[in-house]
Amino acid sequence: MPEPIVGIDLGTTNSLVALCDERGPRILPAEQDRALLPSVVRFEPDGSVTVGEEAKDQAVQFPLTTVSSVKRLMGRSIEDARDDVAYLSYRVVSGEHNTARVAIPRGDAPDRIVSPQEVSAHILRELKRRAEAALGCPVRKAVVTAPAYFDDAQRQATRDAGRLAGLDVVRIVNEPTAAALAYGLGSTSRDVRTIAVYDLGGGTFDVSILRLTPKTDDGDGDGGDLPAFFQVLSTAGDTHLGGDDLDFALVALFTREIAEQAGRGGSGRDLGALSPQTRRALLSFARDVKHRLSEADEARIEIRVDDSATYSRTVTRAELDELMTPWIDKTIRACERALHDARRQIGPSGIEAVIMVGGSTRIPLVQRRVGAFFSLQPYTALDPDRVVALGASVQAAIISGTATDALLLDVIPLSLGIETVGGAVAKIILKNTTVPARAQEMFSTSVDGQTSIKLNIVQGEREMVEDCRSLGEFHLRGLPPMPAGIPKLRVELLVDASGILNVSAVEERSGRRAQLQVIPNHGLTREEVERIERESFAHAREDMAQHRVVDLVVNSELDLKWIGDTLARHGDGLGADDRAALVALVDRLRDIVVRAKADWRAVDPDAFFAAKDELDHASIRLQEVAITATLREPNERGEQIAGAS
């Protein structure tokens, strides 16, 4: 294997390292939760350093020796950095040529003066170490990202940080460009050309408008092409706006309420009386509540204020939304400015894709507002806090010439569908459909009173879910309880020009909706697609039989339930012979269903179908009796039956 070139996102809040190989880009190390390295470095009295999670967790205890958000100081003079310094807990002093330096106190000894480059180098060295451990080989080269608005001095400082960490920074890539590369934009022939990248991180916000200049024949007659590249047309933003603001706002809210509670109790405790531990706990509770509210409608916290008092509260998503609306408004105004500045160059076609970057874009309200502003469904298929590192690794693979066989095609290589009852697959978009493609289908429920429907999105040619690839699942929650078969669930699949799949589900009676975005071909190679196709041919006959039995089971169970209920209510209206015949058919079908559920191979699908069909015919008389009875005595069920039409 040639020497790897890794991609690094050196962020204000978090940093990550990624590698792109023949399967496409992936974060190192592979374990999911340890991938983000907090960009926090603590300088110990003995000269050693602590980097990452531990330094972040203990930051409140060591405010003067813990350096966070050092990216704000990179390559900047003390004057340039003045606004930022107000937000930092540690001391910033003026170094050589007026550059910003960090002064770390060392007891009686003189302060230790460190440059922002050195601080960043500690972060980069830790990322290098992690990458080497994951890959089992030395890592010496990296592509590192920087905000689009970084000037030459800030970019040079980033390179120097790499050099100090023992890394050759082969290229500095703009963060929004990296995000676009991670989504594979710029690699397909029918690609989108004008992109907005909305990046809301921990402490900074920026929006960039990019234009893709496609691959062109350079006209020198050798058949060679000039590569596609992204040009940053405009950027706008706010270097002091991000998820941290929301954390602080929640802490302020909790603190106020704790004080009120104490006031009511008559103890007269004021804000200052909260211990540092309580305040630290409040901050981590605030962050936790915020993260949970990106998934749930409400989150509950309980904090022991002191030995005698506990503060507990439920925060709703609506409350959080209201709290953050002023900040979101600000980001939308920045989007307006960026768009205005780029307007002359982007022409009438406008923005064709919006990419969400930064952990704070997980917040549903942020996605809705940005989507509404650009009139587009924003791209969220990739983790917003990983997309920049992934893109940096794609750039690294391009530079190193690593063949990435990741699938980027103009047709959908494998069918896309959803799981239905019994583990069968309903294919919605068939393979070889050209992109963009859109298709929808109606579904319902098979159990009474379901208030939540799980949607499992699958890819593949086989008939059963267990033989297909699951691309992801989501839930449509909050449905009013309805009898089986009554909900009207419309599921729409849309694969856009750059191969991103949007799945949306709407229950039309209640209006509840949910959506999911994925990249179907992520991590698939051509060989795998071919293997999947071969397997589907080999199993086609057996699969069809299984799918048929599973469908028969589901439909038979609905029939048996209806017939059972109706017999109990209106069975008296039938002659004794008819009733006995019907009961015999019911018993026979029920027996087949039981056997089929134990092992689908144990039943003959044709015999199964015949038994169901015979029962259906035999029950017509019962239906007539039931309808006549219902018409004759309009009862409390009348409304429900009408609603079911």
Tokens, residue 113: 């003066």
What's the closest the beta carbon of residue 357 comes to Mg ion, in angstroms? 6
Our answer to whether residue 431 is catalytic in this structure is no
Q: Radius of gyration of the chain from Cα atoms?
A: 30
Beta carbon nearer to ligand ADP, 393 or 459: 393
Beta carbon nearer to ligand ADP, 443 or 474: 474
d(CA 501, CA 339): 26
What's the closest the beta carbon of residue 16 comes to ligand ADP, in angstroms? 8
- Tokens 């010439």 belong to 401
d(CA 8, CA 128): 9
Q: Does 24 bind Mg ion (CB under 5 A)?
A: no
What's the closest the beta carbon of residue 10 comes to ligand ADP, in angstroms? 9
- List the single partner that 612 binds among ligand ADP, Mg ion, none, CB under 5 to 8 Å by kind: none
Beta carbon nearer to Mg ion, 379 or 474: 379
Residues binding ligand ADP (CB under 6 A): 11-14, 201-204, 242-244, 287, 290-291, 294, 358-360, 362-363, 385
Q: Which stretch binds Mg ion (CB under 5 A): 9-17, 401-409, 470-478, 619-627?
A: 9-17
Beta carbon nearer to ligand ADP, 363 or 532: 363
Beta carbon nearer to Mg ion, 186 or 201: 201
Concatenating the DSSP letter of every residue in 595-624 gives HHHH-GGGS-HHHHHHHHHHHHHHTHHHHH
- List the single partner that 367 binds among Mg ion, ligand ADP, none, CB under 5 to 8 Å by kind: none
Q: Which amino acid is at 311?
A: Y
- List the single partner that 294 binds among Mg ion, ligand ADP, none, CB under 5 to 8 Å by kind: ligand ADP
Residue count at the site for Mg ion (CB under 5 A)? 2
Backbone phi and psi for residue 372, each to the nearest 5 degrees, phi listed first: -65, -40
Active-site entry in 126, 175, 467, 496: 175
What's the closest the beta carbon of residue 65 comes to ligand ADP, in angstroms? 21
Q: Quick one: CA torsion of 358, 126, 19, 469, rounded to 10 degrees?
A: -70
- List the single partner that 465 binds among ligand ADP, Mg ion, none, CB under 5 to 8 Å by kind: none
Our answer to whether residue 71 is catalytic in this structure is yes
Binders of Mg ion among residues 346 to 365 (CB under 5 A) are none
Concatenating the DSSP letter of every residue in 276-328 gives HHHHHHHHHHHHHHHHHHTTSSEEEEEEE-SSS-EEEEEEEHHHHHHHHHHHH
- List the single partner that 13 binds among Mg ion, ligand ADP, none, CB under 5 to 8 Å by kind: ligand ADP
Binders of Mg ion among residues 145 to 204 (CB under 5 A) are 201
In terms of C-beta density within 10 A (0-12 exposed, 13-18 middle, 19 or more buried), how is residue 168 classed? Answer: exposed
Our answer to whether residue 175 is catalytic in this structure is yes
- List the single partner that 147 binds among Mg ion, ligand ADP, none, CB under 5 to 8 Å by kind: none
Concatenating the DSSP letter of every residue in 428-457 gives EE-TTPBSSEEEEEEE--SSTT---EEEEE
Beta carbon nearer to ligand ADP, 278 or 360: 360
Q: Which stretch binds Mg ion (CB under 5 A): 6-14, 147-155, 252-260, 472-480?
A: 6-14
Closest residue to Mg ion: CB criterion: 11
Q: Which amino acid is at 148?
A: A
Buried b (16+ CB within 10 A) or exposed e, 265-304: eeeebeeeebeeebeebbbebbbebbeebbeeeebebeee
Beta carbon nearer to ligand ADP, 165 or 363: 363
Active-site entry in 118, 126, 191, 199: 199
Active-site entry in 9, 118, 383, 557: 9
What's the closest the beta carbon of residue 246 comes to ligand ADP, in angstroms? 7
Our answer to whether residue 199 is catalytic in this structure is yes
Least Cα distance to 24 among 537, 390, 304 occurs for 390
Concatenating the DSSP letter of every residue in 2-60 gives PPPEEEEEE-SSEEEEEEEETTEEEEESSSSTT--EESEEEE-TTS-EEESHHHHHTTT
Among 4, 6, 10, 11, binds Mg ion (CB under 5 A): 11
What's the closest the beta carbon of residue 333 comes to ligand ADP, in angstroms? 20
Least Cα distance to 229 among 292, 174, 154 occurs for 174
Angle between helices 317-346 and 364-374 (to 10 degrees): 30
Return residues touching Mg ion (CB under 5 A): 11, 201
Catalytic residues: 9, 71, 175, 199
